[in-house]
Amino acid sequence: MNSRTTLGLLMAGMIGMGAGGIAIGAQLKSPAEVAADAAPPEASPVTAAVTRKLLSSTVTTRGSIRFSDPKPVSLAGPVGSASGTSSSSVITSIVERGTTLQEGDVPLTVAGRPVFILTGALPMYRQIGPGDSGDDVTQLEEALARLGFDPGPVDGVADATFMAAVQALYAAKGFEAQGLTDAQQQEQRQRETAVRTAERDLSSARSAVETAGKPPTAVEYARADAAVQTAEDGVNAAQRRAENDLANANADVAAKQRALDAANADVAARQKVLTDAQAAVNTATAEVQRATQQRNAALLLDPADPAAVDAANDALTAAEGRLAEANRAVPQAQVDVETARRAVPQAQADLDASNRALAQVGPANDESIRQAETALANARGERRALDAPRDVRTAQEQVASAERALTTAQEDLQRFLAENGTTVPAGEIIFVPQLPLRVEEAKFKIGDSASGTVLTLSSTTLAVDSSIPAADRGIVREGSKVQVEAADFGIETEGTISFLDTKPGTNGVDAQRVYMTIALDDAELAEELAGASVRVTIPVDSTDGEVLTVPVSAIVTDPNGDTTVTVLRNGEQVEVRVRTGLASGGDVEVTPIDGTLDEGDRVIVDEAAVPQADDTEEELDVPTTGEPGAGTPATSTPAGTVAP
């Protein structure tokens, strides 16, 4: 081995030893270094992000859905009959449960008379007749106007126009308003005839004024002559009808009298037959007695005479035969007499009817003749007027006189109608504060007597019966909006607290709870929801829009009352003084007042205060009864703020 090789080996060995020493030296540590390496790393702070959102605090409870505001309805009085002379309370038709009633509907009829339902705050309390006045009349006028039946001025007076509107209301539903009796209707027709006659007279008088001073034309003469001839023919025809009617009536009376006489004669004849039959019985009885005596005498002869005995027996047999025949004739004669007697009352009734008809023929025909003669007198008067000198002043006076006569006739008619016209029975109108309404219950069926509550009506909208803890009474308000969830139906909707009681323990709820009613906003919810159990969430406070929020555990309050949060920025902890607001669900509203704080910043929170599960609202799920007034327990998320 040469020197160069030996030197190379020595150098390689030295380099290897040096590298090994360095490696060994790198693995050797002091006890302090070993202890430091074994200690846990320094703990990092727990942080949460600053968020921007809407905060709200709520009260949660349960309730049951029903149709809102059920109210009982009774009839205000009797329901009149069509003639206005009697009344009945038998129900002849009635609506079914669930029916929706609109203004002007007829939910039931009593004795065939309608009972209308109308909108009005004042209940029906009396029968309204012609000339009546008051707030109830005004209310009915307003209802008629809403339904399209013009009552005239809404002045609270039941005048003729008002009554015409009432009649139209009834007619629109297929009924007749309660009106005049038969006698009153006849009186009304007479007064209406007088008005029409006065109108015709006035029209004629005005025509006379227009034509005054003008000579009649040939056409006017021809018309007047034709009118006179027609009127004369009318009088003659009326007289002939009267004579014919009288002759026919007299002939009918005579025929009925003959029939009665014939019936009486038949009774007399039948009576004679009966009398003769009874006399024949008496005669035959006497003959039987004589024949019996003769036979007995023949038998007593001594010696007996056979020929005499046989002759006596033959005579007795013949007499007994005649007696039997006479006895058979008597019952039939009695039957014939009774039959004939029964015909007499009917013949007498027929005669009486004919006499009554005869008595009516005269007055009826007299009226027809009177009217025809009046028409003739008018026609002749108009014909004579053509030949009379044309005097405008006289014609004008006739117009004035005809106007006065028409005014008098109209006033007489109006006075009669005001005293005797259409009436509205108290029981035929039901006033309710608002419509439409739903029939919650029909108390009776057809044939029952209408008394007391006949219907129970509710709003057509669904409402919720519920309750809240008495402690929350101060933070829940009537008019507040709420969220309503029917989980079984998959329905969520909104509502408004329409009623909140002032004290606990009412309407069947627990003594520590306060009853409330919620009106649902959605009027189209299905009827099947009635009675369903629902969850009610009531927001009792909220921020005005989205705000900066941090977890409540990030808030630190020092002895001076200052409130701060610690923001972790670039590895450094920066304190920011804040003002706190509404707290809800573990978060609190913050507003920086010393320093900056932005959405997305990380704030240090108290790890022990960080929730380990979702911070949800606790709810007592207690079944509801479904009945109005049934209350259910509720729990609430406390409403409040963190003190600044």
Alpha helix locations (H) across 423-580?
A: none
Q: Tell me the average confidence (pLDDT) per consecutive run of 10 residues in the chain, 644 residues long.
A: 38 44 46 56 81 88 84 87 58 91 95 94 91 94 96 93 94 90 82 93 86 77 91 91 89 89 88 87 88 84 78 85 86 87 88 87 86 91 80 82 93 82 90 90 89 87 87 85 89 91 90 91 73 88 88 89 91 92 84 93 77 40 36 40 32
pLDDT value at residue 590: 93
Kind and range of the H or E element at 567? strand 563-569
State which amino acid sits at residue 608: A
Residue 80 DSSP label: B
pLDDT value at residue 31: 56
pLDDT value at residue 4: 38
Question: pTM to 2 decimals?
Answer: 0.42
3-state secondary structure of 422: coil
Please count the CA atoms within 13 angstroms of the CA of 177 that sit on its side-chain side. Answer: 23
3-state secondary structure of 451: coil
Rounded CA separation 117/102 (Å):
8
Q: Where in the chain is the domain with CATH 1.10.287.950?
A: 215-389
User: Domain 215-389's class?
Assistant: mainly alpha
Rounded CA separation 104/127 (Å):
18
220-227: which pairs have CB atoms within 8 A and are 24 or more residues apart?
A: 220/386, 221/386, 224/379, 224/382, 224/383, 224/386, 225/383, 227/379, 227/382, 227/383
pLDDT value at residue 626: 36
Residue 61: which of 458, 484, 405 has the closest Cα?
484
pLDDT value at residue 85: 45
Pairing type for strands 587-594 and 640-641 reads unpaired
Contact (Cβ atoms closer than 8 angstroms) between residue 231 and residue 372: yes
pLDDT value at residue 391: 67
Residue showing tokens 């202890």: 35
Contact (Cβ atoms closer than 8 angstroms) between residue 580 and residue 643: yes
pLDDT value at residue 596: 92
Angle at the Cα of 377 from the Cα atoms of 375 and 379, rounded to 5 degrees? 70
Q: How far apart are the first and last CA of the chain?
A: 94
With both helix axes pointing from N to C terminus, report the angle between 306-387 and 218-300 in degrees, rounded to the nearest 10: 170
Residue 611 DSSP label: -
| Bridge partners of residue 591, in order along the sequence | 579
pLDDT value at residue 110: 94
Rounded CA separation 623/625 (Å):
7
Kind and range of the H or E element at 141? helix 135-146
Rounded CA separation 309/315 (Å):
10
Residue 595: which of 567, 571, 572 has the closest Cα?
567
pLDDT value at residue 375: 92
Rounded CA separation 115/454 (Å):
11
Contact (Cβ atoms closer than 8 angstroms) between residue 536 and residue 465: no
